Structure 1
Amino acid sequence: MRKISLAAVVVSAVLLITAIRAGLPAERTDASETRITVLDVGQGDAVLVDGPGDAEILIDGGPTPDLARRLSRALGNDRSLDLVVLTHPHADHVIGLADVLRRYDVGRILLTGVIHTTRDYEEFLTTIRDRHIPTTVAVAGQTYDVGPARLAILFPFADQTGVRPENLNSASIVAMLMVGVGDWKLGVGDESRRILLTGDAEADVEALLLDRHCTDRSDSVDPCPRLRADVLKVPHHGSQDSSSTAFLVAVRPHDAIISVGRRNEYHHPHPRALKRLERIGARIWRTDRDGDVAIRVADQGLSVSGAR
């Protein structure tokens, strides 16, 4: 029998652990830290907010049915989610959610209320009914407090219940996630760290947000304080029809995260969208290149890192 050296065993073990950890959301290193992870789910969206005291929000469920397994590895024995948000019912955002709802105790569902008759969305709605999960239709002005985080709904402006939009992306939920630091109570002040979550909103929604929230565009210092964010979850996977220059200038993100699948058929992110992000000086992160992208908010401030 061939002898195996101790060094070879150690190296193999390290490689195995590294491979396993590459598929997991980044661990919290500070008990007071809130971690927001844009999960590498391929060509789709899933964002996990994990705060102190088992305070969790899940935004979207990705394009495959295995999200519950990934959450189990990330959250351990915690089998509850305070809030689950479906920004819109396209398959690449909804497929993973039905199994999550079956396996986790969910406090509330937030969705658009639009009509969409695909099998994946119908399964999601059926699971909500079977599990008797409280459900709310998202409308601008609503806020949801979970631990140290506040999710403020910016769009849609009106209740979309029963609406059958020509473009589902135009009814996508857009929300600002604000995370307080230390014992600071939440608000819209400078002491919160802000992450703008955009679903698959495109240029038409961006224009509506600018009209609603940029009341004084002559202010060259901060023309749109209500849209300003430290981090932007880039709309619609970096498509050509999103991330307009005017919108990016208003948001002024230091970091921009694109959730996108490697070699996807849509050729996302589009070179023009990338160029616009580069022009405003945003640091660009991509899940196809960087794996899970983790935003950490703690007393020391905000940091962003990739798993690769």
Structure 2
Amino acid sequence: MLHHIAVRPIGENQDGFFLWAMIILPILSLCAYVGDAFYFYHVAHHTTPSLYEGLLSTILILFAYLQYCAPIKSRALLLAYHILLYILIEVGHIGYILTYSYKKNLFSIIIFVGWMLCDTFFTAALIYCRVYRGYERGRGHKPRLNVHIDAENKDIFHFISRLDVILALFIPIFLNADFSTTTRDNIAFFLLFDFFSEKYEHFHRAWIKACLYLFAAVTTVSIACEWLYFGFHTDIFHQITDISELVAACFCYTLIIMQFFPYHFKSSYSEGRKQQLQGAAADTQLDARV
């Protein structure tokens, strides 16, 4: 059944469990985001402080960013997949907007409207790169676009091991009744920067290099200001955190879209990646016939 869905064959670097995980985890992460958003809305209507807000989605939100390399073979299924994830994340944003509308917090409403716009553009770009340009269309058409920064088994375990350390620092804050917390993306950004930087030596154009540096810098500002907010209880630090986190998301999304285009990479890496994917596709077709 797997070879009818997954675009990559079962092999040394991608076994069947990993392929299914790469498809399912982004869905679970955004389901958790929706749940946390509306739990936050529920808590806003009660005077008793909550001891849990946004923790589960903060842990899982990383995988929502990895949807760009979900190994789905069918174009129709891939389109439906990205639309489903888009609907889930927009519903989560709406949940937070409803909460801040109830609290009459205009700043946070604007931030989440910004998130909605950012995710709309990102999903549209993903559909263009993966659905419209991600398949061979014959002569006379633009060449297909491939994923150049792909995730493997070892990357997932690396993410989990790093999350253990980072969350050991953040969990006491999420469980502190004195703070009202929402889903935070800066932990995911920290891990994604480390993940993307592994391919830095293959980057060719200055644009993608600059995007990676800016992504790292803004993420650092976001994390630093969040800790300052927890330490000094000053709203300006919280606002800087929210703004920088949204800006970091823009850089992260831009970097993800850039990596589809081969001219951002050295020709040797781009050609090798193309041949690798062609070989994988041939093996998948062979498995389907057996």
TM-score category (smaller protein): under 0.3
Q: TM-score normalized by structure 1?
A: 0.23
Q: TM-score normalized by structure 2?
A: 0.24
**Greater percentage in strand:** 1
**Greater percentage in helix:** 2
